[in-house]
Structure 1
Amino acid sequence: MRHDDQRPPAAVLFDVLGPDYEKAFAGAPAHLSALEWLIERLPPAARTLDVGSGTGRPTAAALVAAGHSVLGVDVSPVMVELATRQVPEAEFRCGDIRELPLEAESFDGVCVFFSLLQMTRSEQSALTRRLALALRPGGHLVLATVPADVEDIEFVFMGQPVRATSFAEEDVVAMVQAAGLTLTARHSTVFSPDHPGADPEPHLFLYCRRDEAAR
């Protein structure tokens, strides 16, 4: 077992936040709308992947309620324990998605809600490409991020010091297109987390489809 100072920063952060993160973000209207969009396009009993699955709510819970199977992956053992308890019908694994083998064309839907921000830009691009390849042709992916032209900046998030990296909006779009995904729609909004002292955040949601079977 690794010592705390060797764990990924995201694991340290979300172990601390635990259920407070769900309280702050689970009711975000744009997140819920993105889930509805995905669920409307999934085949019956679809196989779905939730990257950075957190407490399991709202994403895994909504997918399970719609009759789909869910594999949730999160680097935080605290989050995985919460999700397993709250959404027992889904499967949750504690691990780093960057290291998890993903079988080609094995998922009908993929959710990536704010789970790239503590990766480098090259890691975000490489993972998006792997997730696109893990989608079956005709499958859909929804990705949400905080669009900003920033790299390894330090700030305070829900009272915790964190470092984050992101892309400006058009560069996020270019990243998903370079991964082989077709962007069908995008939605930009500003959301105020339900947490003391939290500042409003710009959120970008991308609605994507994999059209090509070729690698």
Structure 2
Amino acid sequence: MINSNHGADYESVLRDRKGQAEAFDAIGDRYDEAFPHKEGQVTAGDWLIGSLREGARVLDLGCGTGVPTARQLADAGFEVVGADLSARMVELASGYVPGATFHQLDLADLRPGGPRDLGRFDAVAAFFSLLMLPRAEIPLALRTVRHLLVPGGLFVLSMVEADVDDFAIPFLGNTIRVSGYLKEDLHKVIAEAGFEIVKETSYTYAPAVTDVPPEEQVFLCCRRCD
């Protein structure tokens, strides 16, 4: 059983994310330059496109510049809503994908009983956004995603496979904090949050910059269990 009334739990683990937001404000356009090839992300987006009804409502959590996911989904005719903690990323996304609607907010704002309500969605995408949270928050974030989905809704996400928790790393001239799981542990966290994994792919990815090491990216296509 999924307990959707976890607002108090969020308050106890929520971290100050000012530094994370400032880092991505500074990175801006350079993010897409550093990560020019996003095959796994595009492939997961294609899975959503092939699985959803025409005109479905989709939320892109941690949308970044809106490229490629928000643009890909908007071009497919979906009603796309994007959300990101970084004001600069929201500004860029609004320019790159004028057919979508973007909001500057924290995922925690969307929790049941939280300060923001964007309604319900047929699908949610969270590409490399959950890894910006400490592990204590990730199960709560996943339950929030489940809360945002209609029954049977779809969820695509990506993480970097790594056994780390709230670990500081240099990133494009800034410092960010990241978390990750080994695959078996990630599967367990996803299942416990009320999702069935329908499809999984992995890619070894080498960014186009020298200060970000190669990484093993895991993409999961999931369905909300009801």
TM-score, length-scaled by structure 2: 0.86
Which residue of 92, 103, 111 maps to 1:93? 103
In structure 2, how many angstroms separate the alpha carbons of the residues matched to 1:149 and 1:53? 24
Aligned-residue sequence identity (percent) comes to 39
Unaligned 5+ runs, structure 1? 1-5
Which residue of 150, 160, 184 maps to 1:146? 160
RMSD: 1.8
Unaligned 5+ runs, structure 2? 1-15
Cα offset, 1:197, TM superposition? 4.3
Which residue identity is paired with 2:109? E
**Closer/same/farther in 2, CA of residues 41 and 168 from structure 1, 3 Å limit:** same
Structure 1, 45-54 or 95-104: larger mean CA deviation? 95-104
> Secondary structure of 1:99's partner?
helix
**Closer/same/farther in 2, CA of residues 181 and 47 from structure 1, 3 Å limit:** same
Structure 1, 145-154 or 75-84: larger mean CA deviation? 145-154
- Confirm or deny that 1:136 pairs with 2:146: no
Cα offset, 1:200, TM superposition? 1.1
> Secondary structure of 2:109's partner?
coil
In structure 1, how many angstroms separate the alpha carbons of the residues matched to 2:165 and 2:17? 20
Query: What is the number of residues matched between the two proteins?
Result: 207
Residues 52 and 75 in structure 1, CA contact (< 8 A), matched pair in contact too: yes
Q: How does 1:5-16 map to 2 (within 5 A)?
A: 8-16=18-26
What does residue 213 of structure 2 align with? 199
What does residue 69 of structure 2 align with? 59
- Confirm or deny that 1:46 pairs with 2:56: yes
**Closer/same/farther in 2, CA of residues 91 and 36 from structure 1, 3 Å limit:** same
Residues 170 and 212 in structure 2, CA contact (< 8 A), matched pair in contact too: no
Cα offset, 1:27, TM superposition? 2.4
TM-score, length-scaled by structure 1: 0.90
